[in-house]
Chains A and B, each alone.
Chain A
Amino acid sequence: MERRSERSDNMARKTAMAAFAMASAEDLRILGKEAGLVLDAKSLRGPETGLVTVRGRIGGGGAPFNTGEATVTRATVQLASGEVGHAYALGRDKEKVRLAAILDAIWCSPSGREVVDQRIVAPLMRIQAERDSRRHAEAAATKVDFFTMVRGED
Chain B
Amino acid sequence: MYVAVKGGEAAIRNAHRLLADRRRGDRSVPALRLDQIVEQLGLGVDRVMSEGALYDRELAALAIVQARGDLIEAIFLVRAYRTTLPRFGYTRPVDTAAMLAERRVSATYKDLPGGQMLGPTFDYTHRLLDPELAEGSEVPEPELRDEAVEAMPRVSDILGGEGLIEPDGAMPAGHVTGDITREPTEFPMERDTRLQALSRGDEGFLLALAYSTQRGYARSHPFVGEIRIGEVELELEVPELDFPVTLGRIRVTECQMVNQFHGSAKVPQEFTRGYGLVFGQSERKAMAMSLCDRALRARELGEDITAAAQDEEFVISHSDNVQATGFVEHLKLPHYVDFQAELDLVRRMRAEHEAAHGGGERKEAAE
Contact = CB atoms under 8 A, between A and B. Distances in A.
Interface of A: 10-11, 13-14, 17-18, 21-22, 48-72, 74, 76, 86, 88-92, 132, 134-144, 146
Contacts of B120: 142
B116 interface: yes
B177 interface: yes
B317 interface: no
A65 B200 contact: no
Given A52-B247, A137-B147, 16 more contacts: A51-B82, A53-B87, A54-B55, A54-B250, A56-B195, A56-B277, A59-B168, A59-B273, A61-B157, A63-B191, A65-B196, A66-B177, A68-B199, A86-B238, A138-B143, A139-B119
A71 B54 contact: yes
B144 A134 contact: yes
Given A22-B248, A68-B279, A139-B102, A63 B171 contact: yes
A58 B54 contact: no
Contacts of A86: 238, 240-241, 245
A143 B117 contact: yes
A50 B200 contact: no
B91 A53 contact: yes
A70 B55 contact: yes
Nearest to B111: A146
Contacts of B101: 139
Nearest to B247: A90
A17 B235 CA distance: 11
B145 A143 contact: yes
Contacts of A132: 100
B90 A58 contact: no
Interface of B: 49-50, 53-56, 58-59, 82, 85-94, 96-97, 100-103, 110-111, 115-120, 142-147, 149, 154, 156-157, 167-171, 175, 177-181, 191-193, 195-196, 199-200, 234, 236, 238, 240-250, 252, 254, 256, 273, 275, 277-279
A55 B118 contact: no
Contact of A58 (B91, B92, B169, B252): B169
A91 B256 contact: no
Given A63-B171, A76-B240, A138-B143, A69 B53 contact: yes
A50 B85 contact: yes
A54 B56 CA distance: 12
